[in-house]
Amino acid sequence: MRLQPSEVQFKEWLYRLGTDTSGDKIAIPKAMIVETKEQLIEFVFDKGFDIPSSDMLKRLMLAPLNRSVDLNNSLVLSSFDTESIDYYSIDKCTNENPLSPYVADSDVAALNKLTPGGLPAHHIHLKVGSIIVLLRNLNTSKSLCNGTRLIVKKLQTNLISAETISGSNNGMTIGISRVCNSYIDESPDGISFERFQFPVREAFAMTITKAQGQTCERLGIDLTDEPFAHGQLYTALSRATNSKLIKVFAPNKLKDDEGNVLIHNVVARGLTFD
């Protein structure tokens, strides 16, 4: 549990939240609620975004679904007034039947629109100062593994320079190049293809599932979509070190008589949390 000794009440509340299998809604305290997405972003990343690199990776926005994560990443990135580059992938179908030259252009355009889990997007828009996450292992001996978050320091046509902020290699600058990312769909009508692209994605925000193991000093939780899987609410709220460093955006949700927001809490019987 990532809690300070003074947070006894919060710890007890989290315990009840993580063990309540009734399926009832949980009251999120009014003090933790913000009314707009802009307030949530400002709370997490501060107005003006003048944050040292060492602190940036300790700040995170979470949401249950990828669509909210993608939107939040775009909103945060749009507030950065720094150098930017758009990176586009080269996609190639690898099915046994090669593409017809007459339909190749349209087929490749269709591939460009696909972003299967674990693959980078066809179009990546980055700015200096962006938080990114690695989508594959680059150098396990230096802790450059799938899921590692980094800060972009320099953007070039064929190279992204990024800084590590945690672990034994804290402060190390690395160069990230494009690599071949393969996707294989083994279903009868599935499409398999290769994508030549930087193995990264924006990571100001991430899904609650991907955040397991993270510890944050400033946490924003976007509950536009309510938690739908076992332990999501517990996992999200327990990423922070202090309840005062958590804000929740939960639009159009029911409230109790005290103004606390009521959120569906999913906890499966017989399962526990680490």
Residue ranges covered by each domain of the chain: 8-64+208-264, 76-204
Rounded to a whole number of angstroms, the distance between the first and last alpha carbons of the chain is 8
- Report the C-alpha gap between 24 and 4 in whole angstroms: 28
pTM of the model: 0.85
Structure tokens at 191: 């499409």
Residue-wise pLDDT for 204-252, tens only, equals 999 998 888 888 899 999 999 998 888 899 999 999 878 899 999 999 8
* 179: confidence class by pLDDT, cuts 50, 70, 90: very high
Pair 41, 79: CB distance under 8 Å:
yes
Identify the bridge partners of residue 131 per DSSP, sorted by sequence position.
151
The region that residue 131 occupies, defined by phi over 0 for left and psi between -120 and 50 for alpha, beta otherwise, is beta
Question: Among residues 94, 70, 50, which one has the least CA distance to residue 193?
Answer: 94
Higher per-residue pLDDT: 216 or 158: 158
Q: Compute φ and ψ for 182, nearest 5 degrees.
A: -105, 145
